[in-house]
Structures are given as C-alpha cells and as structure tokens.
Amino acid sequence: MKNKFIHDMLVLDNKNLNTNYFLLTLQPPVEMPIVKAGQFAQVEIKDAKNTFLRRPLSVHDVNYKENTIKLLVQIVGEGTQKLSEIKKGESLNMIYPLGNSFSFPDSDNVLLVGGGCGIAPLLYLARIFSEKGIKVTTLVGGATNADILETDEYLKFGDVLITTMDASIGEKGLVTQHSIFKEDNFRFSKIYTCGPQPMMKALAIIAKEKGIPCEVSLENMMACGIGACLCCVVDTIDGNKCTCTEGPVFDYKELKGWN
C-alpha cells in the first residue's frame, strides 16, 4: 500500500450536527501525510457486534497547520451509530489516504454539487480550489433543512446555493431543478459532484447538454479499500475497475450507462 498509512488517530472533537450527522476532528500521531481532495479513509469500528469490516468515509477537510483531518459522517446503521459515540481523547484506527482524487479544471469557475452526505468530500475540494484562485460555487441539496450541513464553512470559499424537497430552506426541489441550470448563460466550466447515483447521473446529462466536463465521486460499497475484495467494481468503457483504487472519482464519460 504505497503512500498509505495506518494510524491510531486521536479524537480531538466529535460534534453532533443534528440527529443524523456528526463531524469528527482527528489528529495523527505524526505529521499529516499528503491527502488529496476526493480521497477517503477506511475506519475501524470498535465494539460493534455486527460490524466486522472497516467503513469507508470521505475526507471532509484537512488542516496541515493544526495537523488535523475531518470526517463528516451520516448515521445509517450500527457501525456509524457506534462511531458517533466515540469521545474526545479516545483513538480511532484509520487507513488513509485511499483512492484517487478530483482533478483541476482548465478554467476558473466551477460548480460543486452535493446531495445529503455527498457534500462530505466537497469542502476540502472547495478549499483547495479557492486557494488556487478558482471561483467556487457549491450547490447543496437535501430532503429538509436538516440535511443541509456546514453552509458557513462552504461560504468561506465561495457562493452557496441550496435546494430542499420541502422548501424549508433554499429553492424547492432536487438540486438538478435549481434555477441556475435554467440560465441562458451557464457560467460554469466544470461540474464536480458526489451523492446519490440518480442525482449524479442527472447532472452528467446536464453537463453533456451544456458541453462541459463533469467528475463524479461514487459511493459504492467498499469492504477493503485496497482493491482486494472486488465488491466495489464498476463497469467502465475500459472494463471493470475497482472504485476504491481507480476511483472513487471518475469522469462520467468513463462510466457505462452514464452518457
């Protein structure tokens, strides 16, 4: 596992964002290795009776000055529920950084689109782009305002647009129904997205219609994170690829059935 590390991370903070989401701030025992936007970690879940495998979690943000890494987690089962109970001062074993990363755009105006916990890898991406002088707009969608997370953090790096299905905040509807896509002069040069697959496929169609590139971060099930178990294989125009090693980020044109 070249350039991959297994560390017992010190838990500096476990912040409940609401009943469904929490934010972990972790610190490795050594200087933080280089982590790229879009990469993920495999996290060990201790003391969960029915959770035998590590859980893949997107890197939410990295702070090299403070030597910290953040993980944004949605509670979806026993494993993530147990993880939500970890306390400050405890340790969390983690393999990272895994997978590939988002690429830089050819121009300086991009749209990041996240649905639900799909926003997790986009904050670090927004930070990196902003530091390079790339104008970032982040579009976040959810069922209700409880699914709209960390907007203040995203606002540090650019504009934030919001949609919710119940119109409790932002425009009503799916992210793909936001009025920005109906503008005659669509100003973005590239779309980056993570979230439910139907949402990302719809965004790929929009990107194709507008003649711009689009990178998607797949949320396939990953058991090992290193390409050994083959449970995350995805069908591409170049044959089957492991999402955990050759992804999770793909140009949508690489994926069969996406264009």
Q: Is the pLDDT of residue 124 over 70?
A: yes
Q: Is the pLDDT of residue 117 over 60?
A: yes
Please list, in sequence order, all residues whose beta carbon lies within 8 angstroms of the beta carbon of residue 162, skipping any fewer than 6 positions away. Answer: 139, 140, 141, 148, 151, 169, 170, 171
State the chain's mean pLDDT as an integer.
93
Geometric angle at alpha carbon 191, from 40 and 163, rounded to 5°: 90
pLDDT confidence of residue 163: 97
163 close to 170: Cβ distance less than 8 angstroms:
yes
Please list, in sequence order, all residues whose beta carbon lies within 8 angstroms of the beta carbon of residue 18, skipping any fewer than 6 positions away. Answer: 146, 149
pLDDT confidence of residue 224: 81
**Residue position matching structure tokens 């209700």:** 144
Q: Where are the domains of the chain?
A: 5-98, 109-218
- pLDDT per position as a tens digit, 204-238: 999 999 999 999 999 887 778 888 888 889 999 99
Mean pLDDT, rounded, for 69-73:
97
Top-level class of domain 109-218: alpha beta
Mean pLDDT, rounded, for 105-129:
94
Structure confidence at residue 94 as a pLDDT band (50, 70, 90): very high
What pTM, to 2 d.p., does this model score?
Answer: 0.95
67 close to 27: Cβ distance less than 8 angstroms:
yes
| CATH superfamily entry for domain 5-98 | Translation factors (2.40.30.10)
pLDDT confidence of residue 1: 47
